[in-house]
Amino acid sequence: MEQERTSKNEDVYILVEKIKKGDREAFMTVTHLYQKRVFLLAFSFFHNREDALDIVQETFLRFYQKVSLYRKGKNFQNWLLQIAKNLCIDYYRKNYKKGGELRKENPIDDMNLPLQNEPDPHTFSDLKGIFTPCLKKLAEKQRMVFVMKHYNQLHYNEISQILDISLGTVKSLHFKAVQNLRGLMAPYMGRQV
């Protein structure tokens, strides 16, 4: 598994070197290889197809602009997802967050997001209808860790690299995310059951 990943990284490195010289074909190959992963992250974060496609476009544009910064030995997927993650957070803050809510004295991790399209416990009977708004209610870092773990199926150490935080913090954020989701879902689940 480890060997396979290393050889994959080396193949990508060859392509990246070509992209540095302006090779369009190499760029398209890399985009083809990683576009779904970026889309998956963005879609599961926003639950919106258009936003996710915007993030994909922007991520590969940024990748092309910053390609000279990529060094051999770095995990390419993690590096690319780091770009995508930053764009998701920026996009989210710009388009979803109500102004004035994000304050330094209000750490992101401890803050729950404003509830959008709050489900009416009487009308929502399916799990998807309950879960979607609950996920949106999570604080952005918890949401990002949960999405990366559940949908992108990344390991804790990969998430720690992408978010540039310690492994312990990743574990803690994931635990809080799951715990908070359970708490948010509980009232609806109780009525459903």
Partner 1 sequence: MMDCKKYKKGFAAFLYGELEEDERKLLKAHLEMCPQCTGELERLKEVKKGANSLQEDIENAMTSVDWDTLPMQIAENIFKKEAHPAPESWMEKLSRLIFRPRLKPVYAGLLVGIILGSIVTFMVVRTPRSVMVEAGEFFAPRDFLENVELEIARRDTLDYLEKSQYLLLDFVQSPSEEAAEFWRSEFALQKTRDLLSQKKYINSQLNKFQMAKAKAICDQIELLFYELTQISVDLSAEEIRKIQRLIEEKDLLLKIKLLRRELKQSEV
9, 31, 75, 78: which one binds partner 1 (CB under 8 A): 31
Distance of closest approach, residue 49 Cβ to partner 1, in angstroms: 5
Tokens of 45: 């974060």
Residue 19: name the closest of 59, 66, 57, 55 by CA: 66
Tokens of 148: 């990366």
Residue 78 contacts by C-beta under 8 Å, 6 or more apart in sequence?
A: 158, 161, 162
Q: Interaction with partner 1 in 44-63: which residues (CB under 8 A)?
A: 44, 47, 49, 52-53, 56-57, 60-61
Distance of closest approach, residue 102 Cβ to partner 1, in angstroms: 25
Residue 170 contacts by C-beta under 8 Å, 6 or more apart in sequence?
A: 145, 156, 159, 160, 163
191 binds partner 1 per the rule CB under 8 A = no
Q: Interaction with partner 1 in 108-137: which residues (CB under 8 A)?
A: 126-128, 130-132, 134-135
* Torsion angle in degrees (nearest 10) through CA of 139, 144, 147, 149: -120
Q: Which stretch binds partner 1 (CB under 8 A): 10-18, 76-84, 116-124, 143-151?
A: 143-151
Q: Which stretch binds partner 1 (CB under 8 A): 71-79, 89-97, 114-122, 167-175?
A: 167-175
Catalog residues that contact partner 1 under the rule CB under 8 A: 22, 24, 27-29, 31-32, 35-36, 39-40, 43-44, 47, 49, 52-53, 56-57, 60-61, 64, 126-128, 130-132, 134-135, 146, 149-151, 155-156, 171, 174-175, 177-179, 181-182, 185-186, 189
